[in-house]
Structure 1
Amino acid sequence: MRKEILKSVKRVVIKIGSRVLTDADGALDLAVIGRICRDLAALHARHLQVVVVSSGAIAAGRSELGLTEKPRTIPHKQAAAAIGQSLLMRAYEEALEPHGLKAAQILLTSEDLVNRQRFLNARATMDALLGFGIIPVINENDTVVVDEIKFGDNDNLSALVTNVAEAHLLLILTDIEGFYSADPHHDPEARLIPLVKGITREVERAAGGADSTVGTGGMATKVAAAKKAGKNGVPTIMVDGKRDGIIAAALRGDEVGTLFLPAAVGLNRRKHWIAYTLKPSGRVMVDEGAREVLLKRGKSLLPSGVVRVEGRFDRGGCVRICGPDGVEFARGLSDYSSAETARLVGKKSSEIDDILGYHYGDVIIHRDNLVVL
């Protein structure tokens, strides 16, 4: 199965975690980076295009600043990132140089991908770099980021980059062999699961939470990244990044780590952007009839199906769509602001012009701008 899937892979996003790139003291492990770059060069020789999402800047900066533990305050994190990012890029540049390859730094915040024009600009930049045979190395712009514009972790960022880069595979390098039935650090009976056909609630529960003194993500964030990539029709392979030659083995189709199969029916790239890149700014509560129509018939959301509006959002804003139980089941871009939608609750489409004095359209959220989660 793996070899068949990998036949169609021409562009791959490789996410490399902090614990892969650092040694026991938290400093950059140049030997590991050298092995990784050797594997990247081998992929390049096979005419595979590679985009790297690399953690490690804060960890590298922490070591340089003499901090004994992960910085906790935002200024300390930003200071560590500021000094560590240059060290990280220099390590990649020096490790790629013997192979005749160059690295290019791309630093992002979520605002860069939320704005559709900036999203497309980021895609064009990656395409141009790959066209020149250069390896983009992407990281979150930790020196300026605040909570409102954070990706949260580089696992999430890597899943979003698969959409931006229009990649065919997400390869996650972590510090364990793959996805286990339980945490192998604490449960000696945990077993490696080589194939995950679908990310169910049981799989998400087995992933547990974060447990790291170096990185920001745990197994839960990696499974969430695989789920997001899968919704885009992109498979994910998770492997032990410390293992020599692991990238080449994974891309050959060897039975290493865990393969997460993509969703049977993926979202188009714009709907994936709506579902997973945009941050919702409000909630639209709908009745059971509207929920059923949206879920089963793929229709637009009419004002007659709306029962309540929560939060504030502008026209074109991303909103959560929730059923009578309050559970979110879809997201979409609203044709009307929160104030306008509140005035249209339960009304017929034919009444919109009379109520507002103007008319953007007959629906609150058009089906082309609506994604069932």
Structure 2
Amino acid sequence: MARLVVKLGSSTVAHDDGTLRADVVAAICAAVADRRKAGDDVVIVSSGAIARGVQLLGMGARPRAIEDLQAASAVGQGRLFRAFDDLLEGRGVTAAQVLLSFPDLVSREQYLNARATLSRLLELGVVPVVNENDTTATDEITFGDNDFLAAQVSILVGADRLVLLTSTDGVFTADPRIDPSARMVEEVDDPAELEALRITSSTSTLGSGGMRSKVTAAEMATAAGIPAVVCNGLRPDALPRALAGEPEGTRFAARDLGISSFKLWLRYAKPSHGELVVDEGAARALREGGTSLLPVGIVEVRGDFSAGDAVDVRDGGGVLGKGIVSLDAAELRAVAGLRTDALRAKLPKAAEEAVHRDYFVLV
């Protein structure tokens, strides 16, 4: 038995106009049902709710306003799950809709609850169909893309393989739509090997990800010891081959770096909105002692950010790590270099740590 996570991008689920790719989704559900009947646990992570909602609401193009995106998701999510539910039920497999939000995987209690729920569903032979709860997520509290959510879910359930489906055969040395000389990369032992390639963040008309986010998601999963595959979801034979462990698409080898799922997300997926420059003592404590960053160790605050944003932490030698700040930029400028008693006098209700150690990861 294996535990498998399959992620469908918007371009796999829907045409550019938002209409469902019924034949593609049916083929994917058939492959999932076959693995379930063979005894494997399978989780589907699917994008496409917003794309479907945009089409159903006649919006024409993917909107920018958060309330429009949330409205489209609210309409599209039910229709999208119904398609999975009907197709899987027709093959004797029960599906369950699971909507996750960022706090579900940040709060330890909610994280354990989400893990227990998914584990129980898998024990019961159910195929969870997971999506981000776009109707309540905001730009400030979001996974940013379902590729990252798929990587998080893979870690959450202890998957044996993550398959990221897209509209191309795999990861190419350049965009094959632009560069005819681009070739597909078949195997990746270390994602650093791809840094020199021209991997873009371009997306489909109604999507939000792109190949860059898939490579990052594969990097997150493999760093937790989970091999990953990026392959073509539009080709009927690609997913069955990838799920069976046969050569297909671009395969990423597992590398267990011993980092928690939250810190993997923070390291690879959470964008930075500023920088904190620290002195030598603070840098040494962060590198060697696993401590929190206190305002006394900060010598410069760069950028404009809010409490809860991620920032890069650096010293004279470059970036040390990334952390989620407890104070906004203006507050940190006011207390930078101050000891705790002086900070308390200036900002009585402020957190003592600029970045708590639980929300910091070395890079």
Band the TM-score falls in, shorter-chain normalisation: 0.7 to 0.9
How many residues end up aligned between the 2 structures?
355
Measured after TM superposition, the shift of residue 217 of structure 1 is 0.8
What is the aligned partner in structure 1 of residue 176 from structure 2?
A: 184
- 8 Å CA contact 1:240–1:246 kept in 2: the answer is yes
Which stretch shifts more, 138-147 or 199-208? 199-208
SS at structure 1 position matched to 2:90: helix
What is the aligned partner in structure 2 of residue 372 from structure 1?
A: 362
- Distance change in 2, residues 1:366/1:342 (3 Å): same
- 8 Å CA contact 2:278–2:314 kept in 1: the answer is yes
Give the TM-score taking structure 2 as reference length.
0.82
Amino acid in the other structure paired with 1:118? Q
What is the aligned partner in structure 2 of residue 207 from structure 1?
A: 199
Asked if residue 60 in structure 1 is aligned to residue 41 in structure 2, the reply is no
Measured after TM superposition, the shift of residue 333 of structure 1 is 7.6
Give the whole-Å Cα distance in 2 for the aligned partners of 1:211 and 1:278.
19
Measured after TM superposition, the shift of residue 249 of structure 1 is 0.3
- 8 Å CA contact 2:7–2:46 kept in 1: the answer is yes
* Deviations, residues 61-115 of structure 1 (Å, cap 9, x unaligned): 2222233322333333223222211111111011101221111111122122222
What is the aligned partner in structure 2 of residue 117 from structure 1?
A: 109
* Deviations, residues 141-166 of structure 1 (Å, cap 9, x unaligned): 22232212222111121122222223
Q: CA RMSD in A?
A: 3.6
* Deviations, residues 25-55 of structure 1 (Å, cap 9, x unaligned): 4311211111111100111122221111101
- Distance change in 2, residues 1:326/1:51 (3 Å): farther
What is the aligned partner in structure 1 of residue 348 from structure 2?
A: none
Equivalent residue for 1:151, pick from 112, 134, 143: 143
Asked if residue 306 in structure 1 is aligned to residue 294 in structure 2, the reply is no
Amino acid in the other structure paired with 1:372? L
Give the whole-Å Cα distance in 2 for the aligned partners of 1:344 and 1:372.
21
Give the TM-score taking structure 1 as reference length.
0.80
SS at structure 2 position matched to 1:12: strand
- 8 Å CA contact 1:15–1:173 kept in 2: the answer is yes
Measured after TM superposition, the shift of residue 329 of structure 1 is 2.5
Alignment of 1:1-373 (within 5 A): 10-23=2-15, 25-200=17-192, 202-203=194-195, 205-263=197-255, 265-269=257-261, 271-272=263-264, 275=267, 284-288=276-280, 290-291=282-283, 294-295=286-287, 297=288, 299-300=290-291, 306-308=297-299, 310=301, 320=311, 322-325=313-316, 327-331=318-322, 345=337, 370-373=360-363
- Distance change in 2, residues 1:75/1:340 (3 Å): closer
* Deviations, residues 187-209 of structure 1 (Å, cap 9, x unaligned): 11000000111122753752122
- Distance change in 2, residues 1:313/1:188 (3 Å): closer
- Distance change in 2, residues 1:74/1:289 (3 Å): closer
Amino acid in the other structure paired with 2:201? G
* Deviations, residues 232-275 of structure 1 (Å, cap 9, x unaligned): 22221000001113222012222210011233533144644664
Between Structure 1 and Structure 2, the one with more strand by share is 2
SS at structure 2 position matched to 1:173: strand
- Distance change in 2, residues 1:367/1:145 (3 Å): closer
Which stretch shifts more, 255-264 or 218-227? 255-264
SS at structure 1 position matched to 2:184: coil
Give the whole-Å Cα distance in 2 for the aligned partners of 1:145 and 1:54.
16
- 8 Å CA contact 1:180–1:191 kept in 2: the answer is yes
Identity among equivalent positions (%) equals 37
Give the whole-Å Cα distance in 1 for the aligned partners of 2:310 and 2:203.
32
Structure 1, unpaired ranges of 5+:
1-8
